Amino acid sequence: MKMCRWMTLVMLLVALAGAGIISWLPGGGRFFDSRRLAWAAENSGPTDEGPAEAPRPSAGTSAEQTSMLSALHLPWPGGVVTPSQMNRAVARPPKLDQQAIQANDEVSRGSAAKVYAKASPAIVFIQAGGSFGTGFIFDADGWMLTNQHVAAAGIIDIKSGALFVRVLLGHLENGIMHPESKTRTAWVYKMDERMDLALLKFYKQPEGALPTISLADAVPTPGNDCIAIGHPKAGLLWTVRQGEITGIGQWPQDSLYTITASLTSGNGSNELLHRIIRGIPRRKVVLSSCGINPGDSGGPLLDEDGRLIAVTFGIPKNLNDQGVSLDKFSYHIHLDEVKTFIQDRPNQPRPFVPDPWPAATISKLQDLAGDGVPDTLLFALQKDQPPSGYQCDLARKSDPKFDPLKLDNPAVRKLWKFQFACQRIPLSRTFYDTKNSGQIDLILTDANRDGIADIVLRLENGEWKAVPPNGQKMFDPSLFADHSLAERWIKIHRKKAAPKSSAPAASPPPHPTSG
């Protein structure tokens, strides 16, 4: 019964986080390791001078981290993870194929032709590490928008800790878009995971007046025409598609899947489903009939006058085994969310502050110190894999009422107190609450996986700042001000590899994928 209930919960989380309702765009591809940090310098062609990239990776994970992670085993069955962790586990950008990119050489026809000519010069192609997406310029000062899940794959500036991406502009000639011969650097000024939006700005403002896409006053009602332009992996650069607005609502609460599952589930699972739904932040969305594909993420959805009404972020997952095709429907972030997001425009790019909750689909609470008190919460992408990360309660501050099977509940998560965390996907990182204050105040990133931090972020007076690494080791118990925390940290990390428990006969849920 417990196994069945757990599998049901995981499948519900996968569905609500994106894999069952939405295929994130870009979709497909893989998790990118630290090699993406040096990718742009070799593969993007001529670029303007920009931020300093992190060093190249060495041949694999450092021996120290390998031993620590391989010594930890995630027993089956695993438990629940947060909706945010599930999102990061299933939202994966597509790989940028190492081949020449092609522009769309067909002249647009029909009512979309006018919009295409007006808006396309303001739409940009975004290289984020080894992946790609779409963005657009909305302000003549060089401000751009794309999806958070596109920008988050960007390159880390080793000096500031902020992210940057490469942007390819184009120009319209005889009704056809032509790409520039070089990419330009753009800073990621801020991101919002709930809205799935990222604010970018050019490192150096291009010469001349920039084309822009203006924001509409309001989103047209369902039934009105709309136009999507982007860079689909299955198509060409600046591909235009026309459709209709088919719906407006809150995601995922208003999705048909969520509503019908709520109505048809039994009492116990009904309560569980409602609890999961309450734990997922709302996002106002627009549904359209435009044919969106991986690579279109971050692109604009426009009205008949070429004004922005939404930003593309996903498509419904096809149910081919049930004879259902949802290819004609696409999800877009509502104009209201966009207007709220761009109100705050920082003066400087904000350091990229990674979440100490790693990408995962399963979790398990264990006693690694061997003293009868659970101290480590392990996370993994799937069964029988090394953990994608873990968190340690070194101070034994967690509430005894903490239930790892209810991690989807924000109130329950607050009962878990950890002073150290480690994750290896997409990059090797460690997190420290050095003062045992209940807040992570030091984040170390090992870009080349040699066991030494290349990027150090420290929380000072409520603001994250990049500080010189100075040879700081990734795993360093001396960073804790409280000696007892350091001793417990050492005890946990000296734990020998735990014997693998035999898996039950029931098959595990499939690893979620996009696309």
pLDDT at residue 10, rounded to an integer: 43
Kindly state the helix (H) or strand (E) to which residue 113 belongs, with its residue range.
helix 112-119
- 316 with 15: CB under 8 angstroms? no
Kindly state the helix (H) or strand (E) to which residue 244 belongs, with its residue range.
strand 239-251
238 pLDDT higher than 80: yes
**Domain check: are 363 and 328 in the same one?**
no
Q: What is the mean pLDDT of residues 87-104?
A: 50
**Domain check: are 79 and 115 in the same one?**
no
Q: Name the least confident of 3-12, 365-374, 428-437, 470-479.
A: 3-12
264 pLDDT higher than 70: no
**Domain check: are 401 and 412 in the same one?**
yes
* Cβ-proximal residues to 77 (8 Å cutoff; 6+ apart), any chain: 2, 3, 6, 7, 362, 504, 508
pLDDT at residue 84, rounded to an integer: 63
pLDDT at residue 382, rounded to an integer: 80
- 32 with 129: CB under 8 angstroms? yes
Q: What is the mean pLDDT of residues 446-461?
A: 92
412 pLDDT higher than 90: no
C-alpha–C-alpha distance, residues 140 and 215, integer Å: 13
Does 115 map to a domain?
yes
Which among 51-55, 274-278, 359-363, 396-400 has the top mean pLDDT? 396-400
Closest CA to 212 of 127, 135, 295: 135
C-alpha–C-alpha distance, residues 10 and 511, integer Å: 10
- Paired tokens of 51: 């931020």
Tens-digit pLDDT profile for residues 391-405 = 999 999 999 889 888
CA 60 to chain centre: 23
C-alpha–C-alpha distance, residues 397 and 418, integer Å: 8
Q: pLDDT band for position 449 (50/70/90)?
A: confident
The answer, yes or no, to whether the previous bond of 26 is cis (omega within 30 of 0) is: yes
pLDDT at residue 254, rounded to an integer: 63
**Domain check: are 294 and 151 in the same one?**
yes
How big, in percent rounded to 5, are the helix, strand and coil portions of the chain?
20, 30, 50
Does 99 map to a domain?
no
Average pLDDT, the chain: 77
Q: What is the mean pLDDT of residues 304-325?
A: 74
Q: How far is CA 309 from CA 221, 335, 339, in A?
A: 11, 5, 10
The answer, yes or no, to whether the previous bond of 77 is cis (omega within 30 of 0) is: yes
pLDDT at residue 413, rounded to an integer: 87
Q: HSE of 425 in the Cβ direction (CA atoms, 13 Å)?
A: 22
3-state class (DSSP) for residue 273: helix
**Domain check: are 188 and 264 in the same one?**
yes
- 106 with 295: CB under 8 angstroms? no
pLDDT at residue 273, rounded to an integer: 57
**Domain check: are 340 and 412 in the same one?**
no
167 pLDDT higher than 50: yes
- 300 with 119: CB under 8 angstroms? yes
Q: Is the dihedral of CA 146, 151, 155, 161 positive or negative?
A: positive
Does 509 map to a domain?
no
Q: pLDDT band for position 87 (50/70/90)?
A: low
Domain termination residue (choose one: 317, 333, 353)? 353
- 476 with 467: CB under 8 angstroms? no
The answer, yes or no, to whether the previous bond of 281 is cis (omega within 30 of 0) is: no
- Paired tokens of 355: 């979440």
Q: What is the mean pLDDT of residues 150-162?
A: 89
Q: What is the mean pLDDT of residues 271-275?
A: 58
DSSP state of 484: H
DSSP state of 298: T
Q: Name the least confident of 50-64, 293-307, 319-333.
A: 50-64
pLDDT at residue 38, rounded to an integer: 35
Kindly state the helix (H) or strand (E) to which residue 412 belongs, with its residue range.
helix 410-413
Q: What is the domain extent for residue 375? A: 61-84+355-493
Q: What is the mean pLDDT of residues 216-238?
A: 91
Q: pLDDT band for position 439 (50/70/90)?
A: very high
30 pLDDT higher than 50: no
Closest CA to 441 of 414, 424, 418: 418
**Domain check: are 254 and 359 in the same one?**
no
Does 364 map to a domain?
yes
C-alpha–C-alpha distance, residues 135 and 151, integer Å: 10
The domain that contains 281 carries what CATH number?
2.40.10.120
180 pLDDT higher than 90: yes
- Paired tokens of 412: 């329950």
Kindly state the helix (H) or strand (E) to which residue 21 belongs, with its residue range.
none
C-alpha–C-alpha distance, residues 358 and 446, integer Å: 16
Q: Name the least confident of 170-184, 259-273, 403-417, 439-453.
A: 259-273
**Domain check: are 304 and 284 in the same one?**
yes
75 pLDDT higher than 50: no
152 pLDDT higher than 60: yes
**Domain check: are 295 and 153 in the same one?**
yes
**Domain check: are 36 and 129 in the same one?**
yes
Q: pLDDT band for position 494 (50/70/90)?
A: confident
**Domain check: are 455 and 348 in the same one?**
no
C-alpha–C-alpha distance, residues 232 and 188, integer Å: 22
- Paired tokens of 91: 């939202």
Does 429 map to a domain?
yes
Tens-digit pLDDT profile for residues 343-385 = 999 999 999 999 999 888 888 899 988 888 899 999 988 877 7
**Domain check: are 317 and 440 in the same one?**
no
- Paired tokens of 66: 């390998």
Strand partners, 310: 334
3-state class (DSSP) for residue 127: strand
Does 92 map to a domain?
no
Q: pLDDT band for position 79 (50/70/90)?
A: low
316 pLDDT higher than 80: no
Q: pLDDT band for position 2 (50/70/90)?
A: very low
* Cβ-proximal residues to 100 (8 Å cutoff; 6+ apart), any chain: none
CA 52 to chain centre: 23
Q: What is the mean pLDDT of residues 419-429?
A: 90
The alpha carbon torsion through 263, 513, 392, 482 (nearest 10 deg) reads -120
How many CB atoms sit inside 10 A of residue 278's CB?
Answer: 12
Q: pLDDT band for position 57 (50/70/90)?
A: very low
Does 97 map to a domain?
no
Does 338 map to a domain?
yes
C-alpha–C-alpha distance, residues 376 and 393, integer Å: 6
Over pLDDT 70: what percentage of the chain?
66
Q: What is the mean pLDDT of residues 480-485?
A: 95
In one letter, which amino acid is 502?
Answer: S
Over pLDDT 90: what percentage of the chain?
48
In one letter, which amino acid is 428?
Answer: S
- Compare 256 and 429 and report the one with higher pLDDT: 429
Tens-digit pLDDT profile for residues 31-40 = 223 333 333 3
In one letter, which amino acid is 264?
Answer: T
What does the angle CA 212 – CA 101 – CA 91 come to, to the nearest 5 degrees?
Answer: 75
Q: How many domains does the chain have?
A: 2
Q: Name the least confident of 77-86, 387-396, 499-508.
A: 499-508
Q: What is the mean pLDDT of residues 242-249?
A: 92
pLDDT at residue 347, rounded to an integer: 94
